[in-house]
Amino acid sequence: MKRLIYIIPMFFAITSCKKFLEVQPEQQIDESVAITNAGSAATAVNGLYNTFGNDNYYGSNFPALSYLSGGDIQWTGSQQAPQEVVGHKLTADNGYVSSAWAQIYKTILSANYILEAVPKVNDQLLTTTLRNQYLGEAYFLRAFSYFDLVRGWGGVPLILTPTHTPTNHAGIGRSSVADVYAQILKDLDAAEPILPNTVNRNRATQKTVWALRARVYLYQQQWALAEQYATKVIGETSNYTLLKPYSAFFANNAVATNESVFEIAYSTSFKNGHSNWWLPPALGGRREWAPTAVLVNLLNDATVGGNRNALIGQTAPPGNLWYGKLYYRNPVGTDPAYVIRIAEMYLIRAEARAQQNNLTGALADLNAVQDRAGLQPSTAATQSNILLAIEAERRVEFPFEADRWFNLVRTNRVAAVLGITDTRKYLFPIPTAEIVANPSIIQNPSY
Q: Using DSSP, how many helices (H) and how many strands (E) does the chain show?
A: 17, 8
Q: What is the pLDDT of residue 9?
A: 38
Residue 78, C-beta contacts closer than 8 angstroms, at least 6 positions apart: none
The predicted structure's pLDDT at residue 170: 86
Phi/psi at 9 (5° precision): -70, -65
Domain co-membership, 286 together with 260:
yes
Asked if residues 230 and 352 have their Cβ atoms less than 8 Å apart, the reply is: yes
Number of domains in the chain: 2
Q: Which residues contact 7 (CB under 8 A, 6 or more apart)?
A: 26, 27, 28, 29, 106, 109, 110, 163
- Per-residue confidence (pLDDT) for residue 164, from 0 to 100: 85
Q: Which amino acid, one-letter code, is at 294?
A: V
**Across 292-424, where does the E strand assignment appear?**
312-314, 322-324, 337-341
**pLDDT value, residue 166:** 79
Domain of 191 in residue numbering reads as 1-195+420-447
Instruction: Based on the fold, state whether residues 187 and 305 are members of the same structural domain.
Output: no
What's residue 25's pLDDT?
36
Sequence letter at residue 203:
R
**Residues of the chain under the 50 pLDDT cut:** 1-30, 32
User: Taking all residues of the chain, what is their mean pLDDT, rounded to a whole number?
Assistant: 93
Q: Same domain, yes or no, for 298 and 341?
A: yes
As a whole number of angstroms, the distance between CA 410 and CA 195 comes to: 29
For residue 326, give the amino acid letter. Answer: L
Residues 160 and 85 in one domain: yes
CA 240 to chain centroid, in Å, comes to 19
| Non-local CB neighbours of 150 within 8 Å, separated by 6+ positions | 156, 177, 180, 181, 184
Model pLDDT for residues 260-302, shown as the tens digit of each residue: 999 999 999 999 999 999 999 999 999 999 999 999 999 999 9
CATH number at residue 379: 1.25.40.390
Dihedral (CA of 378, 379, 381, 384) sign: negative
Q: H/E element holding 75? A: strand 73-75
Ramachandran class of 306: left when φ > 0, alpha when ψ lies in -120 to 50, beta otherwise: left
Same domain membership, residue 238 and residue 139: no
Same domain, 432 and 395: no
164 and 265 together in one domain: no
Asked if 446 and 399 sit in the same domain, the reply is: no
pLDDT at 320: 95
